[in-house]
Amino acid sequence: MGTTRIKNNRRKFFQTSAALLGGTIMYSLIKPFEALSQPQTEDIKENKEDLPLWGMGVDIESCIGCGKCAEACKIENNVPKEPFYFRTWIEQYTVKNDGEVKIESPNGGIGGLQQSVPDEDIFKSFMVPKLCNHCTEAPCVQACPVGATFISPDGVVLVDDSYCIGCSYCIQACPYGARFMNPITKVADKCTFCYHRISDGLQPACVEVCPTDARIFGNLRDKKSDLVKFLQKNPTQVLKPHLNTHSRVFYNGLSSEVR
């Protein structure tokens, strides 16, 4: 009596599973046909050479630490005004006569960096703007478990807001501290080279407002661009080259104290 009952239950189990399985198979067969009937999304040019490869140059010898870039970035990209979230920021390095290096970036430099060490103690001082380096071998892209952050065909590291699960692994993986968790959208956020602007022929907001042209944005593939000329004229370095991230933000005047 016990075994016949079990046999019935098993039959029902197999019937339900078969129905579910069959339904799923039917659905997955129909779905590709559905895709054909939808209009195709605009295709990006297949030929890689036609696409720009975006990069940025930073001239430390020109930067005065006025903070306008950091402020403009927050406004342009709706970044919360609190001093915990920065897509770009400026650091002031003050090398003292005794060799000690003081680094500071109060509110990311917004409002202008101010002198905090008396003149007589200072050996030298300079300002260093920082931002996402849009690495060609980005460790953040490597780390994302779901594919929510990626390098676009034109070389910009972007975040897919609707796909990010908020695990923060990419934030841990970035050696430059360029990423943060946006408290409002609750996804990873960072500098996008103002992708919405550069795709329209405009400059990123930070480049637009810099009064001393310390930031140079351009297409690395365009031999006539300001950026390529900047790279040709100056001995440039990238941050943390030992990590081999193939960063595409190039600094002129980078001193060894810079972290």
Residue type for position 67: G
Q: Which of 97, 100, 211, 235 binds another protein (CB under 8 A)?
A: 211
**Closer residue to another protein in complex, CB, 86/250:** 86
Taking the chain, what is the end-to-end CA distance rounded to the nearest angstrom?
78
Please report whether residue 52 would count as binding another protein according to CB under 8 A.
Answer: no
**Closer residue to another protein in complex, CB, 36/223:** 36
Beta carbons of 79 and 85 less than 8 angstroms apart = yes
**Closer residue to another protein in complex, CB, 28/223:** 28
Site map 85..124 versus another protein, x via CB under 8 A: xx--x-xxxx-------xxxx--x--xxxxx-x-x--x-x
CA dihedral sign, ordered 124, 127, 133, 139: positive
Please report whether residue 77 would count as binding another protein according to CB under 8 A.
Answer: yes
**Closer residue to another protein in complex, CB, 167/236:** 167
| Least Cβ distance, residue 1 to another protein (angstroms) | 12
| Least Cβ distance, residue 227 to another protein (angstroms) | 18
Query: CA separation (Å) from 169 to 19, 74, 246?
Result: 40, 23, 20
Query: CA separation (Å) from 31 to 23, 36, 128?
Result: 12, 9, 52
